[in-house]
Chain A
Amino acid sequence: MTSNRVICVDIGSTYTKGAIFRLAEDRFVVEARAVTPTTVDYLPDGFFTVVQQLSPGADWHNLTAADAPCPVYFSSSAKGGLKVAVVGLVPEMSLQIARLAAFSAGARICASYPYRLTRSCISSIEKAQPDILLLCGGTDGGNERYVTENAQALAASDFNGTIVYAGNNAAVDRVSDLLADRELVICENLMPDFGRLNIEPVREAIRRVFLDRIVSGKGLDRLVAAFATQPVPTPLAVLNLVRVVGENIEGWQNFALIDMGGATTDFYSFADAYNPDSGTIMKGIVEPKLKRTVEGDLGMRVSAESTFETGEAYLAAVSDFSTEQMAALKNYVMGLTTNTGHLPANAIERYYDSLLAGACIYHSLMRHAGSIEEVFTAKGRVWAQTGKDLRRVSRIVGTGGYLAAMAREGSAVAISDRAVLPTEKTPLLPEKFVYLSDNDYILPLLGNLAEKFPRQCALTAVSSLTVTQHYEVKEPCQREFIKA
């Protein structure tokens, strides 16, 4: 690198944001930031506006990578990001693994279907027209019937996106024959043996499809050519950031990150999913250490109404609101759905927003976390765990415009350490942790540097955060465990 500066740009669905970083010893320093509305018709326009503001000395429009004053990295979630439909076999097995894989590639899952694709499934896929359809099912040498029948159904459909096949390897020939006239990417089975996860090849395949297919047609191909750099989906940039922090920074081996936006709440965790020494027996798949889930019904503006619907019981429980007060909250929420640019105008609206944020966090955390139940056997008591154990998570990071604004204003972020509403099983929620805020909302931009500068990027990320709250569970759900 001839210059010690880099520019990062994130092309979001509403705003194109950028920053110029200077590498000072072991970490980056933000020198300037810029933001402009995303130019939806031709994305490079907004991109160049931002880059020109960050580095006015050069004529960016007419540059090539060779004579650019510094390298440029960029991510994009424009036009709703990378839309993926998932087709698997058993819901809690291959389908669940496929969902984890798609999320960890930075995708937005628009639909998932177990077992056989019926005519109504096919017509909803045709209507949704996802960028990618991830088809899987069956272990290697296992079930072939469902994937071939589903391939047949897709072959007869009007779906014209890319199909990524990651099912039973014994069915590869039949699936390729059936889908010969489609854009088909074959990769390794994501569950080669029952219960064994093999997510990386699918992640890589989805990333390639993103580059080949999503990048062209939105003007991004021009940027790729001009700066000799490949964009990543914005959530993948954040996921890469979470990974390099967990891999490089001492004390960050168990943490979570919440990225709360207007439309979705993304939850990331870097933690061992199962701690065998805790005396629990694992049921179902052991989830990956690095995990992302996306909640399409939880968000502060576009999804405010569905957040209210999902979170109504939670909101009533934590707010102690009367029926009239709940109605007033609902009224505020309905207003947000139509006026998504609304910012809270007074103290009560700020309180409403913090309640909504609490609901987004509570439900996304409950869905991301696994659970345990106590089981009495002839040999005594044991614990049966499903999903991911987050109890050891010692840090939770909040990012996204709303959480950043809340932290700057000094409003507390409600993160529950136990189920607020009655649940069948005990959720495995973080027990003792600090909440850190990305006050400057820099993490998604920084994520663009994760692959190239892992250590510097991780150091910059953790040192840019502000500790805002400490949480501790008064009575841990399980004090002791009986060895099974």
Chain B
Amino acid sequence: MSATNIVLGVIGFDCHSVGNKILEAWFTESGFKVTNLGVMVSQEEFIAAAIETDAKAILVSSLYGHGEIDCAGLREKCIEKGLEDILLYVGGNLVVGKTPFPQVEEKFLKMGYDRVFGPDCSLEKVSEMLKADIAAKAK
């Protein structure tokens, strides 16, 4: 059984690359085959990579505060492109200002993301969740 493919990247015109490198190393260590698209990734690039690699999940990062506008519509585009079953995770500093996290989470869940994370989540928990979510989808 080969490693599960996942796609990783920082969405929009966001150039924050440090966290992106950490995530790539972390998820590779955790046994995933990571296609890291790096920074400044458009929705179309996430989708193209997910199709070619048959990825089970797309992990979207956003640090610069424009997450809401960049991330909207990704779920719909995935459906249009035949990726109805793909898991969408999003994390980072998703909105500007001091919006309480539960509100942020609700907003992104509504957009069709399966899991939403703030800037201070535990990566161990994230990879556990990801494995469990992928296993649940496979059933």
Contacts and interface: CB of A to CB of B under 8 A. Distances in A.
Interface of A: 89-90, 92-94, 137-139, 141-145, 170, 191, 193-195, 281, 283-284, 375-379, 382, 384, 484
Contact of A194 (B2, B40, B49, B66): B49
Greatest chain B CB density within 10 A among A193, A195, A382 is at: A195
Nearest 3 pairs between A and B by C-beta? Answer: A142-B53, A377-B13, A143-B54
B15 interface: yes
Bin the interface of chain B by size.
20 to 34
Contacts of B5: 139, 141-142
A110 to B, nearest CB: 24
A382 B14 CA distance: 11
A377 B51 contact: no
A284 B14 contact: no
Contacts of B37: 194-195
Contacts of B2: 141, 170
Contacts of B40: 281, 283, 375, 377, 382, 384
Contacts of A92: 48
Given A377-B14, A377-B15, A484-B15, A194 B52 contact: yes
Contacts of A193: 35
Nearest to B35: A194
Contacts of B35: 139, 193-195
Interface of B: 2-3, 5, 7, 13-15, 33, 35, 37, 39-40, 42, 45, 48-49, 51-55, 64-66
22 contacts: A93-B49, A94-B52, A138-B53, A139-B35, A139-B52, A141-B33, A141-B53, A141-B54, A143-B52, A143-B53, A143-B54, A170-B2, A193-B35, A194-B7, A194-B37, A195-B37, A283-B42, A375-B40, A377-B13, A377-B14, A377-B40, A378-B64
Contact of A138 (B39, B54, B66): B54
Nearest to B42: A283
B24 to A, nearest CB: 13
Greatest chain A CB density within 10 A among B3, B39, B51, B55 is at: B51
A144 B52 contact: no
Contacts of A195: 35, 37, 49
Contacts of B3: 141
B52 A93 contact: yes
